[in-house]
């Protein structure tokens, strides 16, 4: 099988992408020549023949098709020249600088029987393909609104890009037209700095409202599409190529019909990831949520009844007046002692609350020994106290633990 011979016009930003893609598909096509007058062209094309004139390249290479990826203002002249020569042509978006030029190119292609295509590559995005299929299958019911957001990504050459509507909004207008038919423009609100860098458009397609916002200002790149219908909502991330379909939840609507509702009939929602369906099982989850909710309500009612019965029993007990606990709850008892951490001389156990801490008397034991508070109730407890022995009687509890130190009362005597 022979390969398709293609002539590429322009190897700028988009032209370089076309060249790389065509070379990757070398089994099906062959780049027979490149037309570009830029001094950097020779470095980009490698060993591919390079030309400065379109007519010369057409005569020398004899292509079977051509790709035009030159600046927008040159699309009409270059594409028209290729169409008149009788070769099919793919023109990078937008098709021309003005609507009138685009219409004349379309008429010219029809007159010469030549295929004319515009490079709206988002049509072939797997996420957009999945959206088109779900909408055509009626998964969303009646379509109510389509909203597109394409922000971020300032072109390297803003002058060649024209303005944000030509550079970005054309993708979403084309997607909307492929989904719903030709849209009707109602309003445009734009922000103009040096160029038109932000714009919001409002369309309608039959009874469907369409809003599109695009800008070069947002510092993050976002490409999103949402479709709202009477039976669900669809959200597409065109960069990650992921689509999420959310069916209407019967718990959150007034049209709850149990297992016989539309979720039970449809079999739950589906999530799309790169155009592949994955069962979500929303109907089963909704049933489990309903059962859990009903069980929780019954338990709450049962616990409340049992709590009231217990309260009545407490109130009815003789001799025990019922009183509501304080707002702050029960207070923990104060600590009777605490430990002073560290190895500082003299640090040790502090006396009980309400009794001042005392320093040991000079020469009365080792440094850092625990001071013993006086006790008026210490009576020595035994004959050893009067003789200077350890306090082992009642004073053991009042003066502190018995130790090798003599009783404070005996020591004072």
Q: What is the mean pLDDT of residues 72-88?
A: 94
Instruction: Identify which has the larger pLDDT, 353 or 114.
Output: 114
Q: Which segment, 223-232, 336-345, 381-390, is predicted with the most confidence on average?
A: 223-232
For the chain, domain boundaries? 4-119, 123-247
What span, in angstroms and rounded, lies between the C-alpha atoms of 37 and 21? 21
Q: What is the mean pLDDT of residues 355-381?
A: 53
For 123-247, CATH number? 3.30.360.10
**Per-residue model confidence (pLDDT) at position 185:** 92
What span, in angstroms and rounded, lies between the C-alpha atoms of 73 and 92? 12
| Mean of pLDDT over the chain | 74
Model confidence band, residue 383 (pLDDT cutoffs 50, 70, 90): very low
Model confidence band, residue 268 (pLDDT cutoffs 50, 70, 90): very low
The kind and range of the H/E element at 83 are helix 75-84
What span, in angstroms and rounded, lies between the C-alpha atoms of 134 and 128? 10
Question: Residue 32 corresponds to which tokens in the numbers above?
Answer: 């027979």
Q: Which residues pair with 225 in a beta bridge?
A: 148, 236
The torsion defined by the Cα of 218, 220, 221 and 224, in degrees rounded to 10, comes to -80
Q: Does domain 4-119 have CATH number 3.40.50.720?
A: yes
Q: What is the mean pLDDT of residues 287-303?
A: 58
Instruction: Identify which has the larger pLDDT, 197 or 9.
Output: 9
- Spatial neighbors of 182 by CB under 8 A, at least 6 apart, are 205
Which of 147, 223, 135, 149 minimizes the C-alpha distance to 179? 135
- Spatial neighbors of 311 by CB under 8 A, at least 6 apart, are 322
**3-class secondary-structure state, position 8:** strand
What span, in angstroms and rounded, lies between the C-alpha atoms of 198 and 205? 23
Instruction: Identify which has the larger pLDDT, 352 or 85.
Output: 85
What span, in angstroms and rounded, lies between the C-alpha atoms of 216 and 151? 6
> To the nearest whole percent, how much of the chain has pLDDT over 70?
58
**Per-residue model confidence (pLDDT) at position 299:** 57
Instruction: Identify which has the larger pLDDT, 133 or 380.
Output: 133
What span, in angstroms and rounded, lies between the C-alpha atoms of 17 and 23? 10
| 84 has a pLDDT exceeding 70 | yes
Range in 16-20, 58-62, 368-372, 383-387 the model is least confident about: 383-387
| 80 has a pLDDT exceeding 50 | yes
Model confidence band, residue 241 (pLDDT cutoffs 50, 70, 90): very high
- Give alpha helix (H) positions in 260-378: 262-266, 282-316
């Amino acid at each position: 099988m022979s390969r398709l011979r293609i002539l590429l016009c322009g190897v700028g930003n988009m032209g370089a992408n076309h060249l790389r893609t065509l070379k990757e598909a070398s089994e099906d096509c062959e780049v027979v020549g490149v037309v570009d007058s830029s001094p950097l062209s020779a470095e980009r094309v490698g060993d591919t023949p390079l030309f400065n004139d379109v007519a010369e390249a057409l005569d020398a290479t004899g292509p079977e098709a051509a790709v035009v990826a030159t600046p927008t203002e040159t699309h009409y002249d270059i594409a028209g020249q290729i169409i008149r020569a009788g070769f099919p042509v793919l023109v990078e978006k937008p098709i021309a600088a003005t609507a009138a030029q685009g219409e004349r190119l379309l008429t010219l292609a029809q007159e010469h029987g030549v295929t004319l295509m515009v490079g709206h590559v988002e049509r072939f995005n797997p996420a957009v393909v999945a959206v088109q299929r779900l909408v055509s299958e009626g998964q969303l019911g009646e379509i109510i609104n389509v909203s597109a957001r394409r922000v971020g990504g300032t072109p390297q050459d803003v002058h060649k890009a024209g303005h944000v509507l030509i550079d970005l909004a054309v993708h979403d207008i084309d997607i909307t037209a492929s989904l719903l038919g030709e849209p009707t423009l109602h309003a445009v609100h734009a922000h103009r700095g040096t160029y038109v860098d932000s714009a919001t458009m409002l369309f309608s397609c039959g009874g469907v409202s369409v809003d599109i916002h695009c800008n070069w200002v947002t510092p993050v790149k976002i490409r999103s599409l949402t479709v709202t219908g009477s039976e669900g909502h669809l959200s597409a991330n065109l960069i990650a190529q992921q689509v999420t379909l959310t069916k209407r939840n019967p718990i959150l609507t007034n049209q709850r019909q149990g297992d016989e509702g539309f979720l039970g009939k449809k079999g739950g929602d589906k999530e799309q990831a790169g155009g592949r369906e994955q069962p979500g099982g929303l109907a089963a989850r909704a049933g489990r949520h309903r059962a859990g909710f009903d069980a929780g309500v019954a338990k709450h009612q049962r616990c409340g009844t049992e709590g009231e019965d217990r309260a009545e029993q407490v109130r009815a007990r003789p001799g025990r007046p019922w009183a509501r606990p304080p707002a702050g709850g029960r207070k923990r008892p104060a600590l009777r002692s605490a430990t002073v951490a560290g190895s500082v001389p003299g640090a040790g156990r502090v006396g009980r609350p309400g009794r001042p801490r005392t320093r040991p008397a000079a020469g009365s034991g080792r440094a850092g020994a625990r001071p013993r508070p006086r006790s008026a109730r210490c009576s020595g407890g035994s004959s050893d106290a009067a003789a200077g022995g350890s306090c082992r009687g009642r004073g053991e509890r009042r003066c502190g633990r018995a130790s090798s130190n003599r009783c404070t009362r005996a020591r004072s005597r």
